[in-house]
Amino acid sequence: MALIRLGFGRQHLRPTKRRSFLLLKLIAAVFAVLLFCEFLIYYLVIFRCDWPEVKTAAQNSGQQTLKAMFLADTHLLGEIRGHWLDKLRREWQMERAFQTALWLLQPEVVFILGDIFDEGKWSSPQAWADDVERFQKIFRHPHHVLLKVVVGNHDIGFHYRMSTYKIKRFEKVFNPERLFSWKGINFVMVNSIALEGDGCNICSKAEAELIEVSRKLNCSREHFPLYRRSDANCSGDDAAPLEERGLPFKERYDVLSREASQKLLWWLRPRLVLSGHTHSACEVLHGAGTLEISVPSFSWRNRNNPSFIMGSLTATRHALAKCFLPRENAVLAAYCVAAGLLAALYCKLLASPFLFGWNLLRKLKTT
């Protein structure tokens, strides 16, 4: 009997070690999947992006080049519409994407083209303070990197809902400059919501400020796109879905009015316009060839394939490139494949005790 017990102990020890080893493999696999899908994938995808090269004429070869990032429509969820899990997921994605881009690409200035928040137009003072704190954590940046923010309709409301209080609240936090100049390049940040053209106090002040700085303009940044009938002529992976491109835009809601757009082009005569609001990409030529680029949303809540624009700018020229972020469906597919493999490994782990018991019974019967 002693020999039988000794043999039983040795046989029992081997499956136990095997199960422990499989359990460690399972834990390591789960950790590896999480590490890849929630951290490393941002480095692998953004690493492929590179700054475009500005083609300068010989007489302008001494001009300094400014590296600027442009993103739009982050839509940080608020206390009313934001489910905690959705909020946690989307903010983690944007934080990892932004921090990875800062580390890999080393931009000198970052522009966010409106709709920073999702509920700024109606948030209470406490909710606003909470949203601002989360924004500052997600989009934290070194002191040598400048962050410039343009106001959007979700930040202060559309024309009929915006107020001096909401505008002042936004300006107190972000201190937006109407005119910003660096390395010989002039940028104008436009509160396009105030370009209603109805002579309201806020609108009149905004128009007066634009006229004042118009002579110094090289580039324009705004939230609402300039007037266009639809996205019918837009193309690319991050353009609006095909079934939506032909839908007509509503003036003063989807795009600026035709009149306000003409005013901006006449007053400012920009060589480049970048805008947000539509959540989709588009390139449009206005007037005498002024290029407008609609920057897609930076949030996975609005797009399966968010992106941002990388701009190499000089005082007279510019070159732009687009940097795509990880696709949501690719990440989900990776999780599904990993879940299948982990389930198979887990079933193997569960099967070990049953196989051991069955073999033990057979052993006892034969003895």
Domain range holding 310?
Answer: 39-326
In this structure, the answer to whether residues 85 and 125 fall within a common structural domain is yes
293 touches 283 (CB < 8 A):
yes
In this structure, the answer to whether residues 232 and 335 fall within a common structural domain is no
What one-character-per-residue DSSP string does 84-145 give?
HHHHHHHHHHHHHHHHHHHHHH--SEEEEES--BSSTTT--HHHHHHHHHHHHHHT---TTS
Q: Which residue has the higher pLDDT, 7 or 282?
A: 282
**Mean pLDDT value of segment 113-123:** 93
In this structure, the answer to whether residues 200 and 338 fall within a common structural domain is no
Collapsing DSSP to helix, strand or coil, 352 comes out as helix
In this structure, the answer to whether residues 256 and 345 fall within a common structural domain is no
**Mean pLDDT value of segment 292-296:** 94
Q: What's residue 350's pLDDT?
A: 62
Query: Is 6 contained in some domain?
Result: no
42 touches 95 (CB < 8 A):
no
Among 186-200, 275-289, 319-333, 349-363, name the one with the lowest average pLDDT. 349-363
**Total count of domains within the chain:** 2
214 touches 207 (CB < 8 A):
no
Collapsing DSSP to helix, strand or coil, 260 comes out as helix
CATH number, domain at 247? 3.60.21.10
In this structure, the answer to whether residues 20 and 135 fall within a common structural domain is no
Cα 172 to Cα 153: distance, rounded to the nearest angstrom: 17
At 49, is the pLDDT very low, low, confident or very high (cuts 50, 70, 90)? Answer: very high
Among 218-232, 270-284, 321-335, 349-363, name the one with the lowest average pLDDT. 349-363
Q: How many CB atoms lie within 10 A of CB 351?
A: 11
Which residue bears the tokens 């805008």?
Answer: 275
Q: What's residue 91's pLDDT?
A: 95
Cα 301 to Cα 48: distance, rounded to the nearest angstrom: 23
Query: Is 172 contained in some domain?
Result: yes
